[in-house]
Chains A and B, each alone.
Chain A
Amino acid sequence: MTKPSSKKHMTDPLDLLQTIKPVAIDHKVYQTIVEKIAISKPIVPLQWLHTAAAILICFISIEGYLLASESSQRTNDFSELITQTDNTLYYE
């Protein structure tokens, strides 16, 4: 009769992990989650916020565009004034 090898009987410490049993969660946790969801819900719907932000960005861009075109027009006028060189003497 042979002796069982010591290697065969050596237990892997990781086997202990398989003895851990699944457990059920406390039912109160659900209530807390529902409360947190209610708190985290925004008063103003997110879609409305997005729409408002988009409108605001449009206004700002239009305003910027108008200001830019107006100022370029002004510089044009100014350049026109500069280019109008008149060297004639009136009281010649």
Chain B
Amino acid sequence: MDFDAFYTKNKNLVYNLALQYVQNIEQAQEITQDVFLKAHQKIHTFKGQAKIETWLYRITINTSLDAIKAKKRKKRFAIFSYNQDELTNSTDFNHPGITLENKEALQALFSLINKLPQTQKTALILVKIEGKSIKEVAYILEKTPKAVESLLQRAKTQLKIYITQTEGL
């Protein structure tokens, strides 16, 4: 398969998954670029055992998490005095897949999801937004279905705690 066809087939899969992680158009586009560059460089290492979609999912998840880490590091060095949560959540939130009526609620929800540990966040995104089954997520994350269920459950419990804390403020 040539790169043009490969890109056309998978571009929206990568872009939308990156968007769920960073909730920002520019950053998601940058992640998409990085993912396809990595895929182009490493396509020869791809083993036919897994589906190419699963392979791309893994690259996108890792690249998105790396981008988030890099951004946090950059902010920590740049602005010590400002409130980091406020900066990440209010100024950068730009998700084109969200309707205007749900924007405020989802921005608040994402600000809580972003506080979750990476694996819990990933499980939540893949199941709740991408609509993947537990089995599929387990395959992507190379974990057992039980481990994914546990991650999801912990994510939900943690989110409930965050929501109660936010309402209590």
Chain B residue contacts of A17, Cβ below 8 A: 106, 109, 124, 128-129
Q: Mark A9-36, 1 if CB is under 8 A from B, else 0.
A: 0000110111111111110011011001
Say yes or no: is B159 at the interface (Cβ < 8 Å to chain A).
yes
The answer to whether A18 and B29 have CB atoms under 8 Å apart is no
Give the CA-CA distance A13 to B155 in the complex, in Å: 13
Chain A, interface size: which category? Answer: 20 to 34
Q: Which of B12-20, B57-65, B85-93, B135-143 contacts A (4 or more CB under 8 A)?
A: B12-20
Number of B interface residues in the complex (CB < 8 A): 31
Chain A residue contacts of B120, Cβ below 8 A: none
What residue of chain B has the Cβ atom nearest to residue A35's Cβ?
A: B33
Secondary structure dominating the interface of A: helix
Chain A residue contacts of B12, Cβ below 8 A: 22-25
Say yes or no: is A37 at the interface (Cβ < 8 Å to chain B).
yes
The answer to whether B33 and A20 have CB atoms under 8 Å apart is no
Q: Mark A60-77, 1 if CB is under 8 A from B, else 0.
A: 000000000000000000
Interface CB pairs A-B, < 8 A, 6: A14-B109, A14-B159, A17-B106, A19-B98, A24-B12, A33-B37
